[in-house]
Amino acid sequence: MLARPLLLSCLLMTLSISAGWPSAAHAGVVIDGTRHIYPQQRREVTLRLTNDDPRAPRLVQVWLAPGDPASAPSGSEVPFILSPPVFRLDPGKSQAVRLVYTQEPLPADRESVFWLNALEIPPKVNAEQSAQDDAPASHLQFAFRIRTKVFFRPAHLPGSTDEAPAQLRWTLHRSAQGALLEVHNPSAYHVTFNEVALAMGAQPEARLLPAGEGMVAPGGHLTLAVREVVHAIPADAQVHFKYINDYGAFSSPQRAPLKF
């Protein structure tokens, strides 16, 4: 049965102002790693969250969601269970969270991606704390949400994540909005870019026109707009890109031919 977490009865942002302007707000909770891989053969994967705030505890709720950035815990149904879903995190302390696949069917011929969400609720500021912070009459409290990707990786997928970027097929299109770079991903793995640009020539020193970043799904397409107006594109133009590997590190600069 698909897991459906409960929603904490709180707002993503709470504001309390009586006079003057509020003090700065700080996120305290961090998730170890910018991405997590869940191999199908694993019984569970352990995620770790840490409260980097040396002064105040946090109440934390975690949930997994498909792809919608606006999804709330109450509306998120995924074939995974997170335990514990809600916990207190004291200053400087860490909490291990178990992620377990419930064996509900997922595509076996390609990766699936989900988002790990962590909502942190700071403690209520009382009068004594406000006085210590030199803000006796005003304060601003935020509830922060941080998100990282979780890739579910079926067993026996063809190829590897290291091979996927070389399989990408790039096409240059012209439109009323300008030049567009379209990439097709024929592999079984997601490829995430932290940099894409149109290289105005095959030479290493060729001018680069940025075109943003993004992620292309297995078998999917992604279109990125070149941010600069291009009047003439040389016949030897290429695409320049960097991708993010399983460990969250950026690749060295890559070049690939363009189809016009």
pLDDT digits (tens, 9 = 90+) for 75-84: 578 999 999 9
The predicted model scores a pTM of 0.84
What is the per-residue pLDDT for 15? 35
Q: What mean pLDDT is predicted for residues 126-138?
A: 54
Lowest mean pLDDT among 66-80, 88-102, 200-214: 66-80
Taking the C-alpha atoms of residue 65 and residue 79, their distance in angstroms, rounded to an integer, is 10
Confidence of residue 11 (pLDDT cuts 50, 70, 90): very low
- Dump pLDDT digits (tens) for 209-239: 999 899 999 999 999 999 998 888 999 999 9
Taking the C-alpha atoms of residue 137 and residue 19, their distance in angstroms, rounded to an integer, is 6
- Dump pLDDT digits (tens) for 31-76: 999 999 999 999 999 999 999 999 899 999 999 999 766 666 665 7
What is the per-residue pLDDT for 5? 53
What does residue 180 show for φ and ψ, rounded to 5 degrees? Answer: -125, 135
Q: Which of 50, 152, 143 is nearest to 93 (CA)?
A: 50
Q: Is 80 exceeded by the pLDDT of residue 16?
A: no
DSSP β-ladder status, 35-39 and 144-153: parallel
> Domains of the chain, with CATH numbers?
13-153 (2.60.40.10), 164-259 (2.60.40.10)
What does residue 128 show for φ and ψ, rounded to 5 degrees? Answer: -65, -40
- Dump pLDDT digits (tens) for 136-193: 455 566 678 899 999 999 999 999 999 999 999 999 998 887 899 999 999 999 999 9
What is the per-residue pLDDT for 206? 96
